[in-house]
Chains A and B, each alone.
Chain A
Amino acid sequence: MSIGPGEAFSLMLRRELALSFRRRDQLLQPLVFFLIVTTLFPLSLSVQLSLLREMAPGVLWVAALLASLLSLDALFKNDAEDGTLEQLALSGQGLTVLVMAKTLAHWLVSGAALVLVSPVVAEALAVPTEAFPVMMLSLALGTLTLSWLGAIGAGLTVGLKRGNVLLSLVVLPLAMPLLIFGAAATDRAISGTNPAGALYLLGALCVLTWTLAPFAVSAALRITLE
């Protein structure tokens, strides 16, 4: 029995989502981490609302970056340990398609959740409500891209015993342009100027990673599985 790539994609997506919702603690951890990290900044810097508003884009984006990175470590780990990954690679389905489903599922349970929580944090950081749509859009585009960058790093380090620090070392430099554009878009929205340029660049990076990164991730996984 053979199934097409579309069906393989949806099966894989459903499997990943089902697995994620069975491990609710792992689902919540990055979100709680996001909340805790953003709380650190007012505690350590200042509770002055004007100052917080100025720092908010940076705080939100750095926290989002670190939170996604935290959840990425597990992206391929369980599947690699119990041999599922090998079976997927041998299944005859394109690994690229399966990897796309896995990463999309990962984004849905980590990145999208983070985007939904972000208004709460933004409110606490005195971000004006008018800026919320742009902030959420930029975070959505950013975390979508980040999931792919992280997937490359996770694919490269999945076979290593102490891959966690290495993952950050590999992924964070790649994610820096993202941080620049994302924080710029949010910053413009807060100050009331036109954020379109930064959003376009974020969108471009998002499209770029969605088209190229699946190949890089499947190549990385094949290197690890060899």
Chain B
Amino acid sequence: MRKLLTPLVVLTAAMFAYAPIAILNGPAESTMLLISKIFYFHFSTWMALTAGLIVCGVCSAIFLFKGNATADRFAFAAAELVTVFGAFGLASGSIWGRKAWGVWWQWDARLPMALTLELIFLGYLIVRKYGGPGSDKLAAAMGIFGAATGPFIYKSVDWWRTIHPQTSVMTTLSIKAPEMWRLVWFCTGAFLLLFVVLLLVRVHLEERRAELDRLYLEAEA
């Protein structure tokens, strides 16, 4: 894992070093102008969060039904990353909305659903920290249901009338604004690499914690 981690870190750092320059010189949306440049990181962070939801949901299910400890470590690490990327997604969206909509927050369908997702995963972390014995199984169930909210949040802008742009913005971007489309996927690639790097490091921490627990049990025996 360590052999893989070093080139991944270098590549991620290089992409994040180049991203601000590309965004600065890249195109802006015609009506929102400069503030629309938040889009590049805002969209990418939600894509990294989606990766976290998939990892957490799948690994939680594997742990719950098969009892695989490695899957539990991946689920725990992914849940923590969901809260980190979710926090930035909510903050960047709020800042963007302040300029584009004139308000920091809008109680439409998308935004409160995204906030609820963040709260579910904060709940997951609290259960893991303070839940005591058996909290891993309870948290796994939370992880599965937290991940299940993802598709509803994604489609909320199409199903309900909201102030947030619809999903068709991304499907038509490659035709209407190919330069923006390329740049947003470059940033998404950088965010997904960052997600993988942080996930591997966070899983390593859980492995070391498990090793420490094993040593304590040996010492007591």
Tell whether A and B belong to one assembly.
Answer: no
Q: Which residues of A are interface residues toward B (Cβ below 8 A)?
A: none
